[in-house]
Chain A
């Protein structure tokens, strides 16, 4: 693996905590001061959904940023960001279960089955659960790096479902959800471009070495593999 630009600075982790908790702090503050407007439940659903989506896109941006800057240590922030994304998704889902559906399994199932936008969001929520559960070092060891990495590729599907879910909610003005969808597509495009470049490089190296089996491991897979997180 290429050298990279040193480790994680001391401020990096606290910065993620601060940034990721800011939406929650804002909601609590507005809730206490009556600033959530006439329909606070919907406002909370909007804010938790937005925070989840932003953090999800941030996790997807980490590998491209790492490749572009060569700052390898940034990968060690990804799990934290991903878990915060799950945290907001869970809040988002809980407000829906509790306030929209009064915790009635019948109502929830009916809504999920009948309305694609609910089904899409629900599926994204369900898919995210195993990723959160397998985010610990122990689970990574138990699954093994490559199986873990394959499982966590589900994040691409979850990202797609999330932006579609948002696009399906709005009545008419799709500008904002469209911006997130474009962001997601761009991040995916960058990934595909890097992967293609890696494949070309591998082919060239293998050809130079005269032995395809001796080709080095693709660096993107390495990037996707978990790294140990201290603390």
Chain B
């Protein structure tokens, strides 16, 4: 369900984040133009500064910047929500190397800035649904993962793309405990990765990505639970077989490879039918594929989503 933001949106409906306010006028003026382009089959290489992506529904207000940056699951910087903002303060994200390898024509080590230089980061306002049954609406700054994948020319054997987070217990104190098998690894099927909604993200709210949100480079897959979005990525690997992903390895009965947002398939220990939108007191209904069913359901045609959770 994609409902474009009304052009005459009231200022009160948007976040009060100061820096963001200055962008609001611009955003509103191009929002209508952006939506049609962004979703579905339309070309994705928009003009500079265009606001792309799925705008959340009318009643989806942006989650304030302070919450987006201070309520984080980033176990490399601690397992509670507040510690990533605190413990990632000195995290060094430059220079930053990303290794691209596996089933592709052009493997190599890339400097982060060189890697993302060819792409125009654009704004994509996505719903973000955590497996813990809370959600946000976040204006990411990024570019479609598919554009990067095309550049590296996957071979015909490539069926999956794997994303590995930095392993550095000196900088990432959470990695000194084996709450999860480090480093954090996430992966997508290649066709999922090529979907125009799947993003590589370098910023949020018009600013460079804060460390606690996965600087300098993270994955955002809005129709999946948040943990699929690997942060602080240092390796992108193309594989023929399904990679082992961290949460799936840690607790296979609770976290599947697909992890598509699905209100009908509960986590074994809690319901996924409803979610608490950060900033709201009462829970609201969770939407199939986090509200992106129209765009992505066809990726899973014929699959038993109860089995492939």
A residues sitting closer than 8 Å to B (CB atoms) are: 37-42, 99-102, 110-111, 114-118, 168-169, 171-173
Contacts of B177 in A (CB 8 A): 173
Question: Once bound together, how far apart are the Cα atoms of A42 and B135, in whole Å?
Answer: 13
- Determine if A39 and B269 form an interchain contact, defined as CB atoms under 8 angstroms apart: no
Q: List 15 A-B contacts (CB under 8 A).
A: A37-B71, A37-B82, A38-B71, A39-B71, A39-B81, A39-B276, A41-B281, A115-B266, A115-B268, A115-B270, A172-B180, A172-B251, A173-B75, A173-B79, A173-B177
- The interface residues of chain B lying within 8 Å CB-to-CB of A168 are 269
Minimal Cβ-Cβ distance residue in A for B78: A173
A100 CA / B281 CA spacing, docked (Å): 8
Which residues in window 158-216 of B have CB below 8 A to A? Answer: 177, 179-180
Known: A37-B70, A37-B81, A39-B81. A114 touches B278 (CB 8 A): no
A209 to B162, CA, bound (A): 78
Q: How far is the CA of A116 from the CA of B254 in the complex (A)?
A: 14
Look across to chain B and name the residue whose beta carbon is closest to the beta carbon of A95.
B281
Which residues in window 209-261 of B have CB below 8 A to A? Answer: 250-251
CB distance from B285 to the nearest CB of A (A): 11
Q: Among B66, B179, B270, B278, which residue has its beta carbon within 8 angstroms of that of A39?
A: B278
- Cα-based distance from A111 to B180 in the complex (angstroms): 28
Per the bound structure, the CA–CA distance linking A173 and B74 in Å amounts to 13
Please state if A42 and B134 are interface contacts (CB–CB under 8 Å).
Answer: yes
Once A99-B282, A115-B271, A172-B250 are accepted as A-B contacts, the answer to whether A42 and B79 lie under 8 Å apart by CB is: no
B278 pairs with A172, CB closer than 8 A = no
Interface of A is mostly: helix
Chain B interfacial positions (CB closer than 8 Å to A)? 66-67, 70-71, 75, 79, 81-82, 132, 134, 177, 179-180, 250-251, 266, 268-271, 274, 276, 278-279, 281-283
CA distance A117 to B251 in the complex (A): 17
Chain B residues in 8 Å Cβ range of A102 = 282-283
- Note all chain A residues with C-beta closer than 8 A to B180: 172
**Contact indicator A172/B79 (Cβ below 8 Å):** yes
Tell me the smallest distance from the CB of B142 to a CB of chain A, in Å: 22
Contacts A39-B278, A102-B283 hold; do A117 and B269 have CB atoms under 8 A apart? yes
- Residues on the A chain within 8 Å of B82, using CB: 37
Q: A38-B81, A117-B269 are in contact. Are A99 and B281 (CB under 8 A)?
A: yes
In the bound assembly, the distance between CA atoms of A101 and B134 in angstroms comes to 14
CB proximity of A113 to chain B, nearest CB, Å: 11
Q: Contacting B276 at CB < 8 Å: which of A37, A41, A115? A: A41
Q: How many A-B residue pairs have CB under 8 A?
A: 57
Partner of A38, one of B67, B250, B266, B269: B67
Given A37-B70, A37-B81: A172 and B270 within 8 A (CB)?
no
Report the Cα distance A101→B81, complex, angstroms: 23
Cα–Cα, bound, A99→B134 (Å): 13
CB-CB nearest in chain B for A174: B179
Cβ of A39: which chain B residues have Cβ within 8 Å of it?
A: 71, 81, 134, 276, 278
Which chain B residue shows the least CB distance to A168?
A: B269
Distance between Cα atoms of A111 and B70 in the complex (Å): 29
Q: Do A117 and B270 touch across chains, with their CB atoms under 8 A apart?
A: yes
In whole angstroms, what is the CA distance A101 to B283 when docked? 7
B269 near A99 with CB under 8 A, answer no
Q: Which residues of B contact A172 (CB under 8 A)?
A: 75, 79, 179-180, 250-251
**Contact partners of A100 in chain B: CB under 8 A:** 274, 276, 283
A residues in contact with B67, CB < 8 Å: 38
* Chain B contacts for A169, CB-based, 8 A: 269
Q: How far is the CA of A13 from the CA of B67 in the complex (A)?
A: 41
**Is there contact, CB below 8 Å, between A99 and B81?**
no
B270:A38 contact, CB within 8 angstroms: no
Closest to A116 in B: B269
B146 to chain A, nearest CB (A): 31
A37 to B134, CA, bound (A): 13
What's the nearest-Cβ distance from chain B to residue A43, in Å?
9
* CB-based nearest A residue for B63: A38
CB distance from A99 to the nearest CB of B (A): 5
Q: Which residues of A contact B278 (CB under 8 A)?
A: 38-39
State the CA gap A102–B279 with chains docked (Å): 16
Considering the chains assembled together, what is the distance between the CA atoms of A41 and B279 in angstroms?
A: 10
**B26: shortest Cβ distance to chain A, in Å?**
27
Q: How far is the CB of A60 from chain B (nearest CB, A)?
A: 26
Q: Which residues of A contact B251 (CB under 8 A)?
A: 172
Q: Is the CB of A118 within 8 A of B276?
A: no
Complex contact B271–A114 (CB within 8 A): yes
| Complex-state Cα separation, A116 to B281, whole angstroms | 24
Q: Is the CB of B270 within 8 A of A118?
A: yes
> Given A38-B70, A102-B283, A173-B179, A111–B276 Cβ distance below 8 Å?
no
CA distance A87 to B250 in the complex (A): 37
Contact A99 to B283, CB < 8 A, known contacts A37-B81, A114-B266, A118-B270: yes
